[in-house]
Amino acid sequence: MAQNNLDFVRMIITSSRFQAQSKTQQREVLEQIIATGEASRDDVVKIYNGNNNNDFAYLESLPYNVFLNVIINGDISGQSLINLCNTSNLINQQCNKPFKVEDTGETIPQYLFLLLLKKLGIDYDQIRQRIPDLSPRDLYFYYTVGDGLSYRRLNDKLVYIAENYNEDWLDVKDLYELLYEDDAGKPAFLKHITITNNSVEYNRFLYAAREVYAAQDPFDNELLSDLDEAAERLDMTTERLLYGAYHRKHYGEKEFHQLFPGVEFTFENYMEIVQNYPEYFRQFLLSIPDISDHSYLFINIKDIINNINEYIEEDENVDRSKLLDDQDIEYLIRLHLRILSGELTIATKFRINDLI
């Protein structure tokens, strides 16, 4: 066992916060330490039983620049850093301490976590432009122990499967393709749930709307008068624009009104639906029974994942660490529930920074 790991465990056990906890709470912390693999049970028990002084209380009084070096150069990260921050109020204050630049007078909040994000190659300022209230600490933990870690874990498996078994998966653009798209070439882990009642036709319409939504930059509503002109402008057939089902020369208003009662079938109204198709799809999802029931979601995703795993396991050289598992299912469910809540949309890109 590396000495720095043992020193870190001893630091936690000798901290004032740990000492102030009840015996039951202390035992829970010890079990958490053992579960991380930082130290063996024998080493943890030996340190705990031999604790008669605060050998590592010095960390609370280290100069700030020395404290930063201990964390960064000591490679304390992720869950280990969370444990460290929780050892005492003073250490937690050091972790969150801002840094003042003498030359400019600028104050940089939670400087330690900004340095750690930089070490990971993450541009905090760029992400903060989109999410102003996101703190450096929260962003760091998102990447190292939160859903950012879950994303990387799932995405690595999807890339492996795509490169070796299904090349279409290399181009999973957004959460619609990841979870719902009724296309055999995409993962669509919840596609069985969305194929209900009116959903096949609704999916076709929304798929068409999605194509127009993705290519909406060329549109100039003052110049466009109907769907044919829109299709020509996008250099695609009108049938493709509306996925073959909603071109007015073929099906017309009747089918449109079945999906959108009370809405006049005009180009302007169609474009309004295009612009807001993620919200239309969210409302469609909310109309499906049990759409937020965890057990129901888990069973449906598990069924698809089992089929995928069975297929790739036919290869005797498959990397079994890349098989999809229950942790991946839980992450997919969390993404789905965030769509239902409106926190994310089906148009959200399947990229780590977009899913924060």
Structure tokens at 216: 């909406």
pLDDT digits (tens, 9 = 90+) for 235-283: 544 444 443 333 333 345 665 676 677 877 766 777 677 778 888 889 8
pLDDT at residue 219 in the model: 44
pLDDT at 45 over 70: no
Q: Please state, for a pLDDT cut of 90, what percent of the chain lies above it.
A: 29
Mean pLDDT of 204-217: 57
145-149, 219-223, 295-299, 311-315: least confidently modelled range: 219-223
pLDDT digits (tens, 9 = 90+) for 51-96: 534 434 556 667 888 888 888 877 778 888 887 787 778 888 888 9
pLDDT at 199 over 90: no
pLDDT at residue 249 in the model: 37
pLDDT at residue 260 in the model: 74
pLDDT at residue 29 in the model: 81
23-37, 200-214, 298-312: least confidently modelled range: 200-214
Q: Write down the pTM of the prediction.
A: 0.70
Q: Are 346 and 280 in contact (CB under 8 A)?
A: no
Name the most confidently modeled range: 157-161, 182-186, 337-341.
337-341
pLDDT digits (tens, 9 = 90+) for 317-329: 999 999 999 999 9
pLDDT digits (tens, 9 = 90+) for 93-117: 888 998 877 777 778 889 999 999 9
Q: Are 10 and 55 in contact (CB under 8 A)?
A: yes
